[in-house]
Structure 1
């Protein structure tokens, strides 16, 4: 058996398009912010180019990054009404993969909010409030209590109290005259949260 070290190269990543092997490097400070910024700016420039093509306007000239961003913001602000109402993709469903400009702008906003964590995450609970019977139970990131967001109620529950409440609901739903499959699905769903 040959005792020499294995000198085979690691095969390149298929999606990278490079002939050299993939080298994992540690992230550098600011890399995550740059990735989010590149995503949003790239999408803005693509939307600007698309609008210019559809409206048969002059193509934008290559400029420095800061100037290109400022120009794209000015251009998109000036043509936003047309993009949201007249652009062919404006009628598409408003979802994550849509070419609808409103959906695209929403995805940029969502990406920025998630990255900056400006707004706390809110978890919605499936069981109705034990006091007002509305589906208003929420828990914000870092909160110790589950709160009813009904303005007239405002009930606070500990996670243990919520678990007891859902167990009571699941038992009461088990007594409903549903078939066994539906009853079990409802009971599992209510206890899962």
Structure 2
């Protein structure tokens, strides 16, 4: 493994820190969000999380395959980057598209590991192998090379956050980001993700828009999540105490205005 000076982890553990640093550079606003260091590129927690996602994927894809028997969700729910169409889906199409997308991605990444890490050239899919076994072989290859994937893969330093273009999203080529993307897609498809509690949040203090939401993908402070502005031109992050202070100031301002209007 190449040696280098300590650098911030490229994983989601530092998403809050990176955005706060970007805001500090742009506006001069200081912050006290701690940084997590990579070892040397991703931290141990990010490596472990990616391994957990990989280990869970074969079971999730088994559940996705059952969707054709239990009910059809429709193509737009299954496609991770396509637009809805007027074409009537055939039974099981949504599940099939998602499995093809994830299984193909796993196989391509596993082929990269075999070529660059193990220096072996093998076909993307062995002739005659069943799909479930093919998926498990790919996952097994990636799971046992997860540290190499996150520390030495050529794209391990690429940002985890997708590029947002006019009407499309280009997902990161970082292996950890890809695994997380596949796991999230399969989890949502199988309805194993918990629907977040709907809360009415205050408008953003910076842009004034109604886009604030709890961001549970970032490290929590105690048991409380960060609050994030979903406006792509703002993306302000609030610590729980900062958000409570913002709400308190809004309430005080509203009460003062109400008293003045009542005179």
Normalised by the size of structure 1, how large is the TM-score? 0.51
2-structure distance, mates of 1:83, 1:137: 32
Q: Would the alpha carbon gap of residues 174 and 88 (structure 1) be closer, same or farther in structure 2, given more than 3 Å must change?
A: farther
Q: 1:172 aligns with which of 248, 253, 256?
A: 253
Deviation of residue 93 (structure 1)?
A: 0.9
Q: Would the alpha carbon gap of residues 91 and 173 (structure 1) be closer, same or farther in structure 2, given more than 3 Å must change?
A: farther
Aligned to 2:74: none
The number of residues matched between the two structures is 120
Q: 1:116 aligns with which of 190, 200, 219?
A: 190
Aligned to 2:161: 95
Q: Would the alpha carbon gap of residues 89 and 124 (structure 1) be closer, same or farther in structure 2, given more than 3 Å must change?
A: farther
Q: 1:84 aligns with which of 150, 165, 175?
A: 150
Task: Please say if residues 90 and 100 of structure 1, whose CA atoms lie closer than 8 Å, have aligned partners that are also in contact.
Answer: yes
Aligned to 1:57: 120
Is 1:26 equivalent to 2:88 in the alignment?
yes
Alignment of 1:109-188 (within 5 A): 109-122=183-196, 123=198, 125-127=200-202, 169=250, 172=253
Q: Would the alpha carbon gap of residues 137 and 99 (structure 1) be closer, same or farther in structure 2, given more than 3 Å must change?
A: closer
The higher radius of gyration belongs to 1
Deviation of residue 101 (structure 1)?
A: 0.9
2-structure distance, mates of 1:83, 1:42: 17
CA-based RMSD: 3.4
Normalised by the size of structure 2, how large is the TM-score? 0.39
Structure 1 segments unaligned to the other structure (5+ residues): 1-23, 129-135, 139-148, 151-165, 177-193
2-structure distance, mates of 1:101, 1:39: 15
Q: Would the alpha carbon gap of residues 91 and 175 (structure 1) be closer, same or farther in structure 2, given more than 3 Å must change?
A: farther
